[in-house]
Structure 1
Amino acid sequence: MSRRPRVSVVIPTYNKAKTLAECVRAVYRQTHQPAEVIVVDDASTDGSREIAAGLPCRLVCLPVNRGVSAARNAGAAIATGDVLFFVDSDIALATDAIGNALRVLREYPDCGVVQGIYDAEPFVADGPVEVYKTLFEHYWRRRRAGVADATLFALTAIRRPAFDSVGGFDESLRDAEDIEFGTRLPDRYQIRMCADVVGRHDDVDRLRPFLTEHVRRAVSYGGLLAGTLLGPGRRSVHRRTVPVPATADGPTGAQRPTSGIDVGAVAAMLCCVATVTTVPLAAVSWWLLMVPAVPFAAFAGIDSGLFWFVRRRKGSLFMVYFLGMHFLMHTTQLTGMAVGFAAGVWRTARHRSTPATGAAR
């Protein structure tokens, strides 16, 4: 990037009247001003569209709710920038977020995607559930700063050629769409997580929606994982609104290898399952509580760095609450992934057993 790049900011929104205006204002407070700001309203019903209409941005209105993949694709289709910067409408960017993302793209010519992290403090603090999730997301993303193997698009800059090489987001997906996007990104484009690209996030703030969100995403991820691991049975058709240019080695060139498994996360989930399934032993003798205590202690040890981080920021009492929430999150996440993976295996087996249309008789 020898010249000053044109940046198109794309903001998909659905029922985010609470945060949309401040999200857009934060974009216009950037040290590197974008060439254009595009808000794509995905058929909101809470007045978000009217709020966007009163802001200094280009507004695209989808007639029916189609999901974040379609909204992002719609914004990208009309964007004119050399770099697309996607930011969700419940995030307020730090003033140097775009500038820092461009610096990374400039310093690393092979880098095609720069994704940011959440601030440790929420956009709007609405209770302990939100504080838990915000602290966890901040710690998790910051610890993974550097070269990454998966794409996340809550606050992410991507070179236009990299986006076009993939062909946009799969519009049949409403969850895990950003991770799936990365599986089609040619491996000539490096992905980097940058701790200097920061935004304050307004996250889910009640327990039931929090658990529902995690289970839904885990089911989607489990299905995606099953399709990836089973190879020939995986989904091969992606509905796109952005055309995929042909290259010498195929529609998108060499494909990125599948992301590795987070061994620590898997171990933590298994410790949670072991704890839950052995607690009933206490009905035989209270001494047998030592059995579930062992995997629970192992669970706490696996993420000890996270828990000490929380203790330093919020104190010991909140750390105890955080530990309980983290245990609950891992347990529900593993359950959702197992359900999604089983469903993915069943769909793949069914697909393989179905005779091809028009087969010779």
Structure 2
Amino acid sequence: MRISVVVPNFNKERTLHECLSAVYAQSPPPAEVIVVDDASTDRSRRIAAAFPCAVVAFPVNRGVSAARNAGAARATGDVLFFVDSDIALAPGALAAAVRTLEAHPDCGVVQGIYDLRPLHDDGPVEAYKTLFEHFWRRRATGVTATTMFALTAVPRAVFELVGGFDERLRDAEDVEFGTRLPSRYEIRVSDEIVGRHDDVDRLWPYLSELFRRAVTYADAVVVARWERPVTGADDAGRTPHRVDLASVVGMAASALAVGTASLALVSPRLALLALGPLAAFVVADRELLAFALRHRGPWFLLYAAGLRWLTHLTEFVGMGLGVCGALLRRVRAGRARRVAPVSQR
């Protein structure tokens, strides 16, 4: 199989050299590497020019969906391997992707996991984010139901069948891609495809990213699935991926804890009602918290628990606003369609 590596990039001068160095160090090497620079304002294009890769330069910023689509359109390989420009692949990652696709002919997407170590260790927020990403991706090893394209291989024929990424989306675009993947194709996670990720390292940008992704996910995936069966091109449709019950319980418990704790304004004793939701939160995330304790110790466990609670609360608000906004837009669109024939008489 000929592998084309597609690297979408926007202002990642800090990590782009490490990303491309790791790609070219793969054995066997890829047939070609395509960097799609999404109107960066830093030194990214000069860094990419130092490597024997093709560079597609956007004059204006169009988002990661458009960047990946442009790279795929330029590629000539049988397999498209997408890797974000803030990830350095471990040796053998591309070979592992090929082995998985060859061993499982029905596999339409194979995605890797993040290393437990970040590419650059920039503090506790990044330490938590990297630990969490490693934990849940490794736990999903094997056949899964959700697509994530940070370090992912897909046969070109499958990519073209799905129709690429929805360029209207700048968040959750990879998850939405999976909802259009025909159900006859498997989605797999391989722990042999590993990359070290330079993740977000400050609290506000981390929570902002979570919020945006939750709002987009609610509209592009959740509400869309309520409205109609999920269908793939010339296929009966993919069964919606399983609801992560632990995440739902965690989000609900975190929000409920805030609500019940506020009752302390009425009576301090009523604040005790928050203990129930907090206990539910701990139970829902017990595996992740135990993982944090084993790898980082008791002090980091307390920090991770607090950040996990903020994560759930942010996602709860984002999902709620996203669902409400999506439903309101659909109601308005339905009314407009009903009024239009009358106005045309």
Fold conserved between structures, TM > 0.5: yes
SS in 2 for 1:199: strand
Q: Does 1:282 align with 2:278?
A: no
The separation in 1 between residues aligned to 2:24 and 2:50, in whole angstroms, is: 14
Amino acid at match of 2:144: A
Q: Does 1:70 align with 2:52?
A: no
Match of 2:303 in 1: 321
**Which 10-residue stretch deviates more, 196-205 or 252-261?**
252-261
Match of 1:92 in 2: 88
The separation in 1 between residues aligned to 2:233 and 2:318, in whole angstroms, is: 33
| Equivalent residue runs for 1:135-284 within 5 Å | 135-224=131-220, 225-231=222-228, 251-284=233-266
SS in 1 for 2:337: coil
Q: Give 5+ residue unaligned stretches, structure 1.
A: 237-249
| Equivalent residue runs for 1:344-355 within 5 Å | 344-355=326-337
Amino acid at match of 2:190: C
Match of 1:246 in 2: none
Amino acid at match of 2:169: L
* CA deviations over 1:96-136 (Å, ceiling 9, x no partner): 11111111111111111101111111111111001111100
How far residue 194 of structure 1 moved from its aligned partner, in angstroms, is 1.1
The separation in 2 between residues aligned to 1:58 and 1:218, in whole angstroms, is: 34
The separation in 2 between residues aligned to 1:309 and 1:277, in whole angstroms, is: 29
How far residue 217 of structure 1 moved from its aligned partner, in angstroms, is 0.5
Residue of structure 2 aligned with 1:26, choices 5, 22, 32 = 22
Compared CA separation, residues 169 and 19, structure 1 to 2 (3 A): same
Match of 2:280 in 1: 298
How far residue 308 of structure 1 moved from its aligned partner, in angstroms, is 1.1
Q: Does 1:336 align with 2:333?
A: no
- Native 8 Å contact 1:219 1:336 kept in 2: yes
How far residue 204 of structure 1 moved from its aligned partner, in angstroms, is 0.6
Match of 1:309 in 2: 291
The separation in 2 between residues aligned to 1:51 and 1:267, in whole angstroms, is: 45
TM-score (norm 2): 0.95
Q: Percent identity between the aligned chains?
A: 54
* CA deviations over 1:25-73 (Å, ceiling 9, x no partner): 0001112310001000000011211211122211111111100000000
- Native 8 Å contact 1:227 1:348 kept in 2: no
Q: Does 1:133 align with 2:100?
A: no
- Native 8 Å contact 1:83 1:157 kept in 2: yes
- Native 8 Å contact 2:108 2:158 kept in 1: yes
Compared CA separation, residues 170 and 252, structure 1 to 2 (3 A): farther
* CA deviations over 1:173-212 (Å, ceiling 9, x no partner): 1111111111111111111011111111111100111111
Question: How well do the aligned residues superpose, as a CA RMSD in angstroms?
Answer: 1.7
Amino acid at match of 2:300: F
Amino acid at match of 1:254: A
- Native 8 Å contact 1:12 1:40 kept in 2: yes
Dislocated runs of 4+, deviation >4 Å: 356-360
The separation in 1 between residues aligned to 2:125 and 2:182, in whole angstroms, is: 37
SS in 1 for 2:189: strand
How far residue 358 of structure 1 moved from its aligned partner, in angstroms, is 6.2
SS in 2 for 1:355: helix
**Which 10-residue stretch deviates more, 53-62 or 152-161?**
53-62
SS in 2 for 1:180: helix
The separation in 2 between residues aligned to 1:198 and 1:21, in whole angstroms, is: 18
The separation in 1 between residues aligned to 2:233 and 2:248, in whole angstroms, is: 34
Amino acid at match of 2:239: P
How far residue 285 of structure 1 moved from its aligned partner, in angstroms, is 4.1
The separation in 1 between residues aligned to 2:173 and 2:266, in whole angstroms, is: 46
The separation in 2 between residues aligned to 1:351 and 1:282, in whole angstroms, is: 43
- Native 8 Å contact 2:17 2:47 kept in 1: yes
The separation in 1 between residues aligned to 2:183 and 2:224, in whole angstroms, is: 20
The separation in 2 between residues aligned to 1:114 and 1:38, in whole angstroms, is: 20
How far residue 350 of structure 1 moved from its aligned partner, in angstroms, is 1.1
Match of 1:245 in 2: none
More helix by share: 2
How far residue 7 of structure 1 moved from its aligned partner, in angstroms, is 0.3
